[in-house]
Chain A
Amino acid sequence: MTFYSDAGIIDGLKKRDSGIIRYIYKEYYPTIKYLITTNSGTETDAEDVFQDALVVLFKKIIKEDLILTSSFKTFLYSICRNLWLQRLDRRVFSDEFLEMEDLSELQDNLHLEQSEEEHEKYRLFQQHFLKLSEDCQKILQLFLGRTSLKEIAEIMGFKTEKYAKTRKFMCKEKLKNSIINDPNFKKYLADYE
């Protein structure tokens, strides 16, 4: 198997290289899974936290030139641990794991722009979006990109602009329904009232 240096990994993440992302999962996910499943978490928690940590990293990389002061593995591990502690904190766990770590110190060390809760919400929304048909995803993205109805109709091969608009409504409707009906969305309901 190919070995990538830390700089190679950062560069690959910046380019959203599927090979690098696969490599990161193969190399580092088992450690994170172990960290989380041995500290009150499930495999699903581990998957979510790892994905969110990679998104944090990706955002940092595209926003600024990330200079690692430790190895990539240590950095990724710290982000995962921080995200998991935040989630545990929200679940009001007070087990030995929390006592072991100084949460505020960790948060200071890693200036995460979003709270873990926001990450979770963003992940939920994005995952529902990715479950839509390819056509729906494309239509919604074109609308968000302020592409005109006429162009959207042309790109998508629709006969009329009116039909393009109808499809946009249907796709939005589908996405909203899918999110609202997700049991994980319930905890955010108060934010939307």
Chain B
Amino acid sequence: MNKVRYTEWIDNFVENELNEAGRKSFEIELSVNKQLALEYHLEQDLEKILSQQDLLDFRAKCIVAQNEFNLSSRKFVKVIQFTRKYWYAAASLLLIAMVAGSLVLINPGNYSPAKLFKMYYKSGETIGISRSGNGNMVEALLYFSKGEYQAADGLFDKILNYEPQNFAVMYYSGISNIEIKNYPKAIQMFESIIQDGNNLYIENAEWYLGLSHLVTGNIDQANELFESIASSPDHYYANDAKSILEKIKKNENSKKLINNLFFLILPF
């Protein structure tokens, strides 16, 4: 289920970037919203802990030393005397592994678009809210956090009627529409965010647009987006894009292999 993340809101509160009404709204929400309270107090602790840079460096060195120690103390490898019985067992295992490997290799459903979507769609990765003072927005996000995406999207639409350039709302609307499998609307929302070219949600929109294209079978468009993301090393989803591209390629190769096998078998 999607969870609303409060990072940006907390940041605005801590950095005194909210107006009086915004601060009050935050404080009220903080007293009733367990998730917000958890993230707020966790951030306070993290700030305290992470500001101790010398300690972090020291701990990192301890982890390295521990790993080195563990590696060096595991240098004795148990040697198995291979008798004829073991050779038979090993050969059988190898055969099973080869058959299983071949099945995995030629199974086109191994990385089907739907499966890839499931693997890469991290519904928890929503990012903050920008208009905390807006009553409709708070209500919409409450629906969103409860997983009531249809209701949330209705409210997002209302907000977009009077704030057509609210990219946070567009983004959450896009995610809500992915959740309710209304992909055309999700695609429309993400495309609008990207077309603007200057807002906080572009990288996320690019990634989720790619996933929306993937799940609707527009593999070429998905590929194009993932390639663009993967070619920008600073892009937040660069590694995910590289990884998904590899799997899409593997899937295509499997399909080609099956086609080739089919044509080889056909004459018989």
Which residues of A come within 8 Å of B, CB atoms? Answer: 16, 18, 21-22, 24-26, 29, 47, 50-51, 54-55, 58-59, 62, 121-123, 125-127, 129-130, 135, 140-141, 144-145, 156-158, 162, 165-170, 172-173, 175-177, 179-180, 189, 191-193
The 10 lowest CB-CB distance pairs between A and B, nearest first, are: A25-B65, A192-B41, A25-B69, A192-B38, A21-B65, A22-B65, A166-B200, A169-B7, A51-B62, A21-B61
With a CB–CB cut-off of 8 A, which chain B residues contact A123? 59
B68 interface residue (CB < 8 Å to A): yes
Smallest CB gap from A179: residue in B? B42
26 contacts between A and B (CB under 8 A): A16-B57, A21-B61, A21-B62, A21-B64, A25-B62, A25-B66, A25-B69, A54-B58, A58-B55, A62-B54, A122-B49, A129-B46, A130-B56, A130-B63, A144-B47, A144-B51, A162-B198, A166-B127, A166-B203, A168-B11, A169-B11, A170-B127, A176-B5, A176-B39, A180-B38, A189-B38
Chain A residues whose CB sits within 8 angstroms of the CB of B11 once the complex forms: 168-169, 172
Interface of A is mostly: helix
Provide the residues of chain A in CB contact with B86, threshold 8 Å.
none
B37 touches A193 (CB 8 A): yes
Tell me, rounded to whole Å, the shortest Cβ–Cβ distance linking B120 to chain A.
15
The answer to whether B42 and A16 touch across the interface, beta carbons within 8 angstroms, is no
Contact B65 A162 (CB under 8 A): no
Question: Which residue of chain B lies nearest to A125 when distances are taken between CB atoms in the complex?
Answer: B49
Judge whether A162 and B200 touch: CB under 8 Å.
yes
The answer to whether B54 and A16 touch across the interface, beta carbons within 8 angstroms, is yes
- Knowing A157-B234, A162-B200, say if A173 contacts B43 (CB, 8 Å): no
The chain A residue sitting closest to B239, CB to CB, is: A133
| B7 cross-chain contacts in A, Cβ below 8 A | 169, 172-173, 176
Can you name 5 extra interface pairs (CB under 8 A) apart from A21-B65, A55-B55, A144-B47? A22-B69, A29-B66, A130-B56, A172-B46, A177-B124
B34 interface hit (Cβ, 8 Å):
yes
Residues of B within 8 A of A (CB): 5, 7-8, 11, 34, 37-39, 41-43, 45-47, 49-51, 53-66, 68-69, 124-125, 127-128, 198, 200, 203, 234, 236
Given A125-B45, A157-B234, A177-B124, decide whether A29 and B69 contact each other with a Cβ distance below 8 A: yes
Residues of B with C-beta under 8 A to A180: 38, 42
**Which residues of chain B are within 8 angstroms of A165 by Cβ–Cβ distance?**
200
Q: How far is the CA of A156 from the CA of B49 in the complex (A)?
A: 23
Which single residue of chain B is at the shortest CB-CB distance from A160? B198
Please indicate which of the listed interface residues A157, A175, A192, A193 has the most CB atoms of chain B within 10 Å of its own CB.
A192
CB contacts (< 8 Å) of A24 on chain B: these are 65
Please report the C-alpha to C-alpha distance between residue A174 and residue B62 in the assembled complex, in whole angstroms.
24
Q: For residue A144, which residues in chain B have a CB less than 8 angstroms away from its CB?
A: 47, 50-51
